[in-house]
Amino acid sequence: MERLTSVEEFRTLQSRVIAALDPTVPTIVIPAGTCGQASGASDLIRVAKRYLLEKRLTDKVRLRITGCHGFCEMEPSVLIEPQKTFYPRVSMRDVSRIIDAAVEGKVIEELLFVDPTTGERIRKQSDIPFFKKQFRLLMERNERVDPRRILDYIESGGYTALAEVLAERDPEWVVSEVKASGLRGRGGAGFPTGIKWEMLAKQPSDKGKFIVCNADEGDPGAYMDRSILEGNPHSIIEGMIIGAFATGATDGIIYVCCEFPLAIKHIGMALEQAYELGLLGENILGAGFSFNMTMVKGAGAFVCGEETAMIHSIEGYTGEPRQRPPFPIQKGINGKPTAINNVETWANIPIIIRDGAKAYASIGTPNNSGTKIFSLVGKVKHTGLVEMPMGTTIGEIVYNVGGGAVGNSEIKAVQTGGPSGGCIPASSFDLPVDYDTLAKFGSIMGSGGMIVMDEDTCMVDVAKYFMNFLKNESCGKCFTCRKGTQRMYELLEDITLGAGTPESIALLEELAYVVKDTTMCGLGQSASNSVLSSLRHFRNEYEQHVVEGKCPSYVCKDLVGVPCQTACPVGTEIWRYIAQIEHKNYVDAYKTIRESNPFPSVCARVCNHPCEDRCKSGTSGGQPINIRALTRFVTDNVDPGVYKPVIEPQFGDKHPQVAVVGGGPAGLTAAHYLSLKGCKVTIFEQESELGGMLLSVIPEYKLPGEVLKSEIASLLNDNITLKYGTVLGRDITVDGLLKDNFDAVFLSFGAHNSSGLQSDIKDIQGVYPLLDYVKSVNLRGENLAIGKVGIIGGSVSAIDAARTAIRSAKAESVTVFYQGTREDMLAAKDEIDAAIEEGVSIETLVSVEEILSQDGKLAGARIVKSRLGDFDSDGRRRLKPIAGSEQKVDLDTLIITASESPDVECLLSNSHLSIDLNADGTIKVDVGTLAASIPGVFAGGDITGQVSVIDAIAAGKRAAESISCYLQGKVYKPSTGIQLPQVFIEPNRSEEDASGQSARVKLPKIDVSERRGNFKEVEISLTPENALKEAGRCLRCDLDFFKCKECQE
């Protein structure tokens, strides 16, 4: 290339290059930044080149290898221009097809991007939600340029801004233009660039001046600068030449950290080409202005991103910050005035000159103009580089661009600014992302890292992670930074290991403030941010760690124990019985279950299995163990008689009297355990049978009456007296019971009141509250579902009701109306599937606007369909009604889910005592002891707030312990902390290889044809082979807590 000696020559070159370009020729664009190469872009390039040569397609199609386009998660990707067709995750096999299609102007549908929520295939890159919402000023240029070819950059309009400045403008104009654009430093501090330039321009120029590009990007999880360095190095160089022209700088330095080999290579090439073309060096483009640029490679210290440390590093000393003042602008490299700007800041300069300061300032918000690239990583659907106008809300970035949470876990917070930044809780996601707002909120924008965290992320663990990074990356000069970060790490480690105390949190906070206050540079001053902001927004998590000894996110191993056991409200040693099943020791397995759960057969059928949600096999990416199926297998194959309840009288010869009001799971459990302790228990039940909700609400096809009855019978003994048909408020009162020789009362009569349904709707013939409907079927055997049946709601009981209704002989059709999507429904997926199998139709995204009646009889309902809109700031997708979708459906029966609440009227009638209630009408109890506001009165189960079956059983167990302590005059201290495994069971080595590979077994079901018109149990027990296979899949998390024999010795 010949050296250009005037602006004219440059312009001729540029127009020649542009003219040589035929825009109709399709171009295959393959992004091959570090991220692309890591996912296999180099292979695609190799295959593509070979195919083009083999098929002699080089004149029909062009190939361009560029830097990262931002959607790193979908790489290696291919973009076809000019249509901008986007093919994600392309394999080598498909390259030839894509090239052929591009030549013919066609699109290969099956390789296109699929929207994960709608399932649609999207052709154009700009229609993909990830790109659609972005404002791609810088990233868009990455697509158009091969970073190794300066002519590509010139062809796409590069160096035009420089030519304009050299030919037509003076330095003052450039400075004022940059000032007017409102551009602020993109490195994080947000100092106005124009003002910095003005200050540098005013410095005496006799000794020379420096401008520096700070490309020492080191935040974990952030790589936006790297993408520009690799993808468009000339934009930085052009920005710096313009900067030198404006400020009178004589030397430029790009300080790159050594971890970016590709960036170093591309910058080296770009500098060489720019020198060759006369864009750098003496007398640039004949404008009488000289500027020299070099690249300095850092040695990989995070602290060298700090400007004074960087200056030391450039000078050849250890990268250590020094006191400011004097500021680098006065005394920088070798004592000469120096201005340091971030990569993104420099890359913005040519755009400002090209578009004009006014246009640039109109992007974003006042005082925070322009765009910013964020590196969106963590627990979001789509990760990558996202360029947004400043002032966009966090929610917009996380939900609408990032696509929201991965899996079922909800997004909890975002860490902005990397280790120096802080976390922002999901409740504040409507905050605009700009320098001032984030700083006010205790975080920083930093260079633009954005790490999304969900419920499975422990904030203490996150703070510990960042502190570990900082304690290694602190330069160590300031004693408080070096030792402070070490000590903060130590305290955080103590907390995550369970050795922390409330004093540790106080000390941590005190130390964090001192470290912030007493350190010299930005690293130390912001080192405490992650601790302080997580303490501010998530102090409860810290407290749970030190007070309760639990890690609520199931991250800190020592505070979790075995996840399944910890997740079980009654603490069943699930890992233990799975291991026992594996050893074919079914009797012991049954005993293990029964030891902690008095209702094994019931739970094997109806438990909502919180254990499976926490199973490591599931949370680590696979499918959780089917624990309920294994429980079912054990309870079906072992005679319950093998377990003999442990009788441990605690009252000597005395037998305190305890009244249990309500014979549901909570009441029965409490009665059972109290009777074993030697209490005389009387159960008052208003129905004529025991079982409570288990009997009245859970349909027979899920839990056969026989199973329930025999399980209940096994819990009764001589110490338990039953009183049926006794209604609280009518036949007995709480104060009456206390007077009547009862030493304690346990209230567990559940929530049987369907409130929340307007009486005028309730009165329509054919409309039933859900609870009334299922009760009439379960208790009185009359199925009220007639003709066309509609059910409103998506809860577990709504699906139960639908499946009950379809079994009615008089039901023609059953339809469930739910306003959200199928994924939003609370009912388990396999139950919804079973309902569909049985003939229930599920209408999602439908809301019932009005219930229509005629002469007091139900006629139908008016429904409106809606579609999913954007995410709102809570991370839920807004529902947008579809205009004109209104329609009337004929119905003969309508079952409505209404909120259920305990009928507390009965407590008050005929009673002199007043018991404290919560705002929602449930009884107020102490969470630890379950004691109500009256001494001797305890309550548990639905009556204290709606709970699942296993939670009710847990409440019953806790009540028994608490009541027993109360009767002995002791203070009940609920056990805090988690149970670590105590029993070592040899793993089954022979099947080790097979595990992990196989899929989760499903509980077999009886054929659909056999289900119609009856209430036969649907699920069937596993075969022994399948049970062994499933048990063999268990990862045996308990083994983590045992040392092997060699270690013990």
Partner 1 sequence: MVNFVLNGLPVSVEKGSTILEAAQFYGFPIPTLCHMEGLSPYGACRLCVVEIGEGPRAKLVTSCTYPVEEGLKVRTASERVIKARRMVIELLLASCPQSKTIQDLASAHGVRQQRFRQEYEDCILCGRCIRMCKEQMMAKAIGFRGRGEGRSIGTPFDMKSEQCRQCGGCIYVCPACQLRCTYTEPEKAVCGGCANLTPPCVEKDSFDDMMCYMNPCVACEIKKDL
Binding site for partner 1 (CB under 8 A): 301, 303, 318, 320, 322-323, 325, 470-480, 482-487, 490-491, 503, 507, 510-511, 514, 517-520
Report residue 107 as tokens.
């699109």
Is residue 424 within 8 Å of residue 388, measured between CB atoms?
no
Core vs surface per residue 659-673: b (16+ CB within 10 A) or e: bbbbbbbbbbbbbbb
Full 3-state SS string of 292-316: EEEEEECCCCHHHHCHHHHHHHHHC
Work out how close the CB of 957 gets to partner 1 at its nearest, in angstroms, rounded to a whole number: 39
* Min dist. Cβ of residue 524 to partner 1 (A): 9
Least distance from partner 1 to the Cβ atom of residue 258, Å: 15
Distance (Å, whole) CA 387 – CA 139:
7
Name the nearest CA neighbour of 243 among 274, 218, 211. 211
Q: How far is the C-alpha of 702 from the C-alpha of 691, rounded, in Å?
A: 15
Nearer to partner 1, 171 or 476 (CB): 476
CB of 487 to partner 1, least distance (A): 5
Q: Which is nearer to partner 1, 297 or 487 (CB)?
A: 487
Three-class SS of residue 571?
coil
In terms of DSSP bridges, do strands 85-87 and 78-81 run parallel, antiparallel, or are they unpaired?
A: antiparallel
Minimum distance of partner 1 from residue 312's CB (angstroms):
12
Between 365 and 486, name the residue whose CB sits nearer to partner 1: 486
Half-sphere exposure of 851 (CA within 13 A, CB side): 25
917 forms beta bridges with 923
Please, which residue, 461 or 473, has the CB nearer to partner 1? 473
Phi, psi dihedral angles at 391 (to 5 degrees): 90, 0
| Token duo for residue 209 | 């001046």
Q: How many CB atoms lie within 10 A of CB 204?
A: 9
Distance of CA 42 to the CA centre of its chain: 32
CA-to-CA distance for 971 and 964, rounded, in angstroms?
10
Paired sense of beta strands 887-890 and 900-901, if any: unpaired
- Ramachandran angles phi, psi of 79, nearest 5°: -120, 130
Task: Report angle CA 455, 460, 461 to the nearest 5 degrees.
Answer: 80
Q: Minimum distance between the CB of residue 436 and partner 1, rounded to whole angstroms?
A: 13
Q: Give the residue carrying structure tokens 């605009």.
A: 432
Residue 179: CB minimum distance to partner 1, A: 23
* Radius of gyration over every alpha carbon of the chain, rounded to an integer in angstroms: 35
Give the list of residues 6+ apart from residue 697 with CB closer than 8 angstroms, or none.
771, 774, 775, 778, 797, 800
d(CA 546, CA 503): 9
Beta partners for 29?
64, 79
In whole angstroms, the minimum distance from the beta carbon of 550 to partner 1 comes to: 24
| Residue whose CB is less far from partner 1, 420 or 948 | 420
d(CA 337, CA 191): 17
Torsion over CA: 58, 59, 61, 64 (sign): positive
Residues 6 or more apart whose Cβ sits within 8 Å of residue 820? 794, 844, 845, 879
Q: How far is the CB of 481 from partner 1 (least distance, A)?
A: 8
**Least separation, in Å, of the C-beta of 225 and partner 1?**
22
Rounded to the nearest 10 degrees, what angle do helices 224-231 and 261-276 cross at?
A: 40
| Nearest residue (CB) to partner 1, 28 versus 508 | 508
- Unique residue bearing structure tokens 């009615």: 808
Judged by CB, which is closer to partner 1: 287, or 507?
507
Instruction: Report d(CA 190, CA 707) in Å as an integer.
Output: 68
* Closer by beta carbon to partner 1, 524 or else 563: 524
- Assign residue 1002 a region: left if phi > 0, alpha if psi is -120 to 50, beta otherwise? beta
* Shortest Å distance, C-beta 320 to partner 1: 8
CB 191, min distance to partner 1, A: 15
- Distance of alpha carbon 513 from its chain centroid, rounded? 30
Q: Which two tokens stand for residue 448?
A: 């633009």
Decide whether 318 or 585 has the Cβ nearer to partner 1: 318
Q: Please spell the DSSP secondary structure of 357-370, one letter per residue.
A: HHHHHTSEETTEES
**Residue closer to partner 1, measured from CB, 241 or 303:** 303
Nearer to partner 1, 323 or 688 (CB): 323
CB of 200 to partner 1, least distance (A): 21
Which DSSP state fits 920?
A: T
* CB closer to partner 1, 255 vs 399: 255
In Å, the largest CA–CA distance within the chain is 111
Q: Which is nearer to partner 1, 44 or 535 (CB)?
A: 535
- Please tell me the distance from the alpha carbon of residue 407 to that of residue 814, in angstroms, as a whole number: 30
Nearest CA-CA partner of 253 in 199, 191, 208: 208
- Closest CB 611 distance from partner 1, rounded Å: 37
Task: Report yes or no: 611 and 568 within 8 Å, Cβ to Cβ.
Answer: yes
Residue closer to partner 1 by CB (options 304, 842) is 304
Rank residues 326 and 756 by Cβ distance to partner 1 and give the closer one: 326
CB of 302 to partner 1, least distance (A): 9
CB of 520 to partner 1, least distance (A): 6
Neighbours of 303 (CB within 10 A): 27
Residue 6 vs 468, nearer CB to partner 1: 468
CA proximity to 284, closest of 40, 500, 7:
7
Distance from C-alpha of 411 to C-alpha of 473, rounded to nearest angstrom: 29
Min. distance of Cβ 83 from partner 1 in angstroms? Answer: 51
Q: By C-beta, is 119 or 325 nearer to partner 1?
A: 325
Among residues 84 and 322, whose Cβ is nearest to partner 1?
A: 322
Neighbours of 970 (CB within 10 A): 9
- CB of 475: closest distance to partner 1 in angstroms? 5
